Amino acid sequence: MLTPVVQWLLLINAALYLAQQIYFGPLLAWLALWPQGLVDAGGLTQGVPRFWPWQLVTYGFLHGGLWHLVLNMYALWLFGTRLESLWGPRRFLTYYLVCIVGAALAQMVVSEISLAQGGAAYPVLGASGGVFGVLLAFGLTFPETRLMLLLPPIPIKAKWFVLIYGVIELAAGVTGTLEGVAHFAHLGGMLTGVVLLHRWRLGPWA
């Protein structure tokens, strides 16, 4: 079953992914999340990409590949529909977008630190920050729900799945495992979700 906001998010993400196949360079330059200040375009566009405020949201609607899109949208459908049914469309959309922004801010802090230490500048794109916020909310709202993992194919309660995933992301971010994956954006989405749920008195704080 598709709920209204999840349905529109799926359609918008899919449409922009198709647009990327034609206008990849311009969309990457204008809508992906770039570090503050001017950075090297890497030959992708004629202009020089830079940070613009709207990128705090728009980066969450671009994806780096088909599997990136499919996995994010599958998780958004799997966990988001149940939350939207419980909260209503307006609250769910607010939560999702705030998690997208929170993830972006967390990643920007990490990117600026990396640049100051001589690291390379690269754009961030993908709905993962919002999706991780949704995953966090699902785990706190439906902690006893059993999920079936794909690898390995074993059942696990939602609360333990969220905890384990969060620890893995933190470890990967600190150690630099899976270079090119914005681990701190994922963690930023989850942390933003915790703050927002606490403020709204949802989940364990109800």
Residues with catalytic annotation?
128, 186
- C-beta atoms surrounding 129 within 10 Å: 33
d(CA 44, CA 25) in angstroms, rounded, equals 5
Cβ-count burial 20-39 (b if 16+ within 10 Å, e if not)? beeeebbbbbbbbbbbeeeb
CA–CA separation, 173 vs 41, rounded Å?
25
Closest alpha carbon to 202 in 158, 132, 140, 135: 140
What are the tokens at 52? 């613009």
What is the spatial distance between Cα 59 and Cα 67, in angstroms, rounded to a whole number?
A: 17
Give the separation between CA 143 and CA 148, rounded to whole angstroms. 14
Structure tokens at 69: 């899109």
